[in-house]
Structure 1
Amino acid sequence: MASSAPNPTQAADQAADQAAGAKPPRPKGLALLRVALSTRKAGCMLGFGFSSGLPFALLIGTLNAWLGEVGIKLATIGVLSWIGLSYSFKFLWAPLVDRLKLPGLEVLGRRRSWIILCQAVLACAIAGLAITDPTRAIGTFAIIAFIAAFASATQDIALDAWRIENADEDTSLELLTALYQFGYRTASIVGGALALMLAARISWPQVFGAMAGLMAVMMLVTLRAPDTERTITARLHADLGQPGELAPGVRAALLFIVLASWVWAIATIAHFMIAMLAPVAPGGKLPSVAEFTKTQGPWIVAATVFVPLIVASVANHMKARALGVLAAEDHAHGPSRTIANHIYAALVTPLAELAGRLRAGVLVVLGFILTYAFCYNIWSSFAFPFYLDYLHYTKDQVAFASKIFGIIMTMFGISLGGYLFLRIGRFPTVLLGAMLPPLGNLLYADLADGGHVIDAFAHAIALDRLGGALGADARMLRLLLAIVYENIATGLAGTAFVAYVSSVVSKRYTAIQYALLSSLTFLVGTLGRGVAGEAFDTYGYGPVFRATALAGVVSVSFVLMEWVRVSRAEARAVKE
């Protein structure tokens, strides 16, 4: 059948649109994906995701497999894992990455200049790890690893900004984020599973040398990427200059207290790491990680969490009583003021808004955030030494179970968490996310003690026969079952945590508050890794796994308190 001709009105409208230069209809669904993947911007986003995920997989996971294999003590591995705090603290230097022009590289663009600098540093640092013997120069090895972690965290700052600024109608932010995650997950497999498989066939230095080469290739992606113009902003945060806001001098004093607390905390951690990793004099002994964490750990948490919270509360108190506030709009601006406003907005403003809105409930929220992922975070750095050196699985077995099969199970756990949020609600899902990972620690304790409970469970539901039919012996089946439970549980818990924190943050400060609160999740667990490593060396894996599982009671308690707090707040809102 022939198509009918358009009526005169339609023809006139079409002609008018063409005359006005109207854009064709925007493609949707798969058509949009095809258009996006055909663009340079989307292809670069895939590469950037890989560039972000590769160093993280190497430094936070695979590196520990190397150290465990060459006999580095678990206490030392635990302290070395503190380099991961770079990712938690990266919002501290984000203002510099946003505003500082790099001499000689600025010609590449405001984001590309930082990205390519970080990639160059990462390639050199990973190559530096490859040519350094950790058994003879663990201090030098640690310094290089810290430089790599710092460069990786800084690269993430620039990549996040690039993704947001380069989103447009054809390549939306949602699509760029999905492409970024795809590249990141691919890098996790390359830096985890592939690196382990290679290490079973070639030396660890050769593996890291190859990974350094991959990192260098990512610089070609950066050179092909588009960039955005650097804008000149006379006043970054206009609301801080409005009447009723704290005067610049008052803000500077409050900010000085917060920054001094953070600097002290970071310097204290760095000083102990240096002492722990320095050569031991004849007859001497290494400092105790447990003693350091016991005496300094609470002060570090206080300096990085509670001092900023107190300062934020003081800021709210002064504004509410019009003490030290602006009487007229402040038009002054400059580079130092802009950076100060950036840092104030990153460290004080988010907590000030939370403290003002939640009042005493902010203590419950912070307790929830600090302890929610503790049971997993405290031992995650020791997973490879546990699988490879203690349980004596092969690198190929661990690569498949942990980094291929495990990733699939994590994605299933994430999907399950989203489904449960819709089916049973927010707090029941969050409570499950607090309860399930500690039970996983008990499962790993059983695995460390021979896997008798896991074997009985597998036999009771005939999984042993299924595993045998698929070629998995009893040992491999134990590892797979433990990893299935752990990755599903942590995937579900991660989804619940993200959804919860997203519901707590203010829409006005969404990005800033989320970045700050999510970074605090890893603080206590990361600090505790040094203690965990020393405890693993002293008591063995089984007892420590059982002890850390008990710590889950604290997280569950905070979830229940937060559930009660929110329920009461909602009930009051209904009455009003």
Structure 2
Amino acid sequence: MNFQNYFAVFSNRRIAAAMFLGFASGLPLALTGSTLQAWLSDAGLDIKTIAWFTLVGQPYTWKFLWSPLIDRFPMPFLGRRRGWMLLTQLALAGAIAFMGGLDPQTHLATFAVLALLVAFFSATQDVVIDAYRTETLHQTERGAGAAVGVFGYRMAMLTSGALALILADGFLSWQQTYWVMAAIMAAMALVTLFSPEPEVIHQAPRSLREAIIEPLHEFFSRDGAILLLTLVVAYKLGDAFAGSLSTKFLLDMGYVKTQIGSANKIFGMIATILGGFAGAVLMVRWGLYRSLLVFGVLQALTNLGYWLIALHGAPSLGLLYFAIGGENLAGGMGTTAAVALLMSLCNPRFTATQFALLSALAAFGRVYVGPASGYLVVALGWANFFVFSVAVAVPGLLLVLFLRKTITTLDAPKTPLTEE
């Protein structure tokens, strides 16, 4: 296989669909998060009320609870996954448009319900898109699909985050800005209509009980199931520790907010995207096992960039960009491999349920290491804390080594067959 073949994986409808659906997945997030907070602040709501609105994002955490319904009950149009995608995208467009038609000061309760509905429809769309991508992409395309999905997701967050704030800052009203976002969301339905159907058609579970119980039974009946779940949790745990208090760390080191913002939000995002695409290309050549191992080692070692900042003491822009660039580049590569691992672990009959559960486990570190990080920084100091974050990554790497045979088997190409 020559170098050109490594990039050929990006040039098909399945990968294009994964990218645009990544955009559809990321667009609603800021509209119930940072962008919504800006609107509520401009509307004159107090900080306590705005703080309560942070809870509308709970559906993203609990989406695995209703994912069996998506596996069990396909829509009567557009196949098992695309029907659900179309329904959630139209529901999202409608709910976002309704939010735009309200004044949060005078219709606060209704506004809050609509924000919660946007988060619920968005989380449901995520479940369906993850299942669709897992079932549609060929084994050799998983890395590329993960990379373009992350790219689309990041572009969507810029659209509903930075672009929405720019539009609302003198060009349009907040209501009109949300209507623009609703129109973009509605346009995503066209992506669903033109996306290809999976080549392998799998039979849905025959009962709701089967849709709930069988995904768990099927997974835990596999050899090494507990170790695989531990790997899912542990693989990016060191990364999660290093990133949990990075902004506070950089402020303590004397960097100003503008420097941190430009390095993190712009340079870091570019490095993450480049890392994702580099990881995808390398995965075509190396396969899942070697990619998980090499990218995992790079993830761990690049945490030492922050250790160098802590040792240096005085702010250095060169060191800042080196640390953030290295961490995000390796993190993008690691994310590509980690998402490919989750895809490979899913049984196609229960993709929605199993992927939702596995992705919830994968997010465990990012969500829950924050409080522990604070205590560790107090006990160890910043420099030793980042050395500790490297040590935390070691068990995940040892699991990759131990599970080499299992991971290699997961990565083996499978012949498409149609289930009746």
Judge same fold: TM > 0.5, yes or no.
Answer: yes
The answer (yes or no) to whether the contact 2:26–2:154 under 8 Å persists in 1 is yes
What is the distance in 1 between the residues matched to 2:268 and 2:149? 20
- The percent identity for this pair of structures is 33
In the TM superposition, 1:536-555 aligns within 5 A as 555=389
Counterpart of 1:495 in structure 2 is: 333
* C-alpha distance 223-519 of structure 1, shift in aligned 2 (>3 A): same
With over 3 angstroms needed to count, the CA separation of the structure-2 counterparts of 1:374 and 1:155, relative to structure 1, is: same
Other-structure match for 2:240: 373
Q: Which has the higher contact order (CA 8 A, sep 6+)?
A: 2
1:145 aligns with 2:125: no
The alignment status of 1:408 with 2:270, answered yes or no, reads: yes
Q: Are residues 556 and 64 of structure 1, via their aligned partners in 2, closer, same or farther at CA, if it must alter by over 3 Å? A: farther
CA deviation map 1:464-507 (0-9, x unaligned): xxxxxxxxxxxxxxxxx867744642442353366478679986
Q: Deviations over 1:110-129 (max 9, x none)?
A: 33321121112211222233
Are 1:342 and 2:315 an aligned pair?
no
Deviation string 1:140-194 (CA, Å, 9 cap, x unpaired) is 444322221221122223233434555589x977766665555434323322332
Match for residue 179 of structure 2?
Answer: 209
CA distance in 2, matches of 1:204, 1:547: 44
Structure 1 residues 214 and 28, CA gap change in structure 2 (3 angstroms)? same
Report the TM-score, using the length of structure 2 for normalisation: 0.63
- The one of 17, 23, 26 equivalent to 1:53 is 26
Determine which structure has more spread, i.e. the larger CA radius of gyration: 1
The two structures, once aligned, show a CA RMSD in angstroms of: 5.5
Distance of 1:80 and 1:101 partners within structure 2: 32
- The Cα shift of 1:100 comes to 0.9
Shift of the 157–81 alpha-carbon distance from structure 1 to 2, 3 Å rule, reads same
Aligned to 2:188: 218
Show the 5 A alignment for 1:11-30: none
* CA distance, structure 2, for counterparts of residue 166 and residue 504 of structure 1: 14
Q: Does 1:98 align with 2:67?
A: no
The one-character-per-residue Cα deviations of 1:44-103 (angstroms, maximum 9, x if unpaired) are: 55543332221234444433444566676777666644544533443433331122144x
Cα-to-partner distance string for 1:444-465 (whole Å, 9 max, x where unaligned): xxxxxxxx943xx24xxxx7xx
Q: Give the TM-score normalised by structure 1.
A: 0.49
Relative to structure 1, the CA distance from residue 364 to residue 439 in structure 2 (aligned partners, 3 Å threshold; closer, same or farther) is farther
Q: CA deviation at 1:211?
A: 0.6
For 1:106-145, list aligned pairs within 5 A.
106-134=76-104, 140-145=110-115
Contact persistence 2:235–2:397 (CA under 8 A): no
Structure 2 unaligned residues grouped into runs of 5+: 283-289, 405-420
Question: Does structure 1 retain, via aligned residues, the 8 Å contact 2:17–2:195?
Answer: yes
Contact 2:22 2:153 in 1 (8 A): yes
Matched, 1:522 2:363: yes
Provide closer, same or farther for how the CA distance between residues 401 and 357 of structure 1 changes in structure 2, counting only shifts above 3 A: closer
Give deviations 1:530-574, integer Å, cap 9, x for gaps.
x89xx9xxxxxxx99x9999876764443345567778999xxxx
User: CA 1:220/1:356 → structure 2, altered by over 3 Å: closer, same or farther?
Assistant: closer
Q: Which residue of 1 aligns with 2:169?
A: 200
Change (3 A) 1:197 1:499: same
> Which residue number in structure 2 is paired with residue 331 of structure 1?
none
* CA distance in 2: counterparts of 1:566 and 1:115, whole angstroms: 34
**Using the alignment, how far apart are the partners of 2:85 and 2:153 within structure 1?**
16
**AA paired with 2:163?**
L
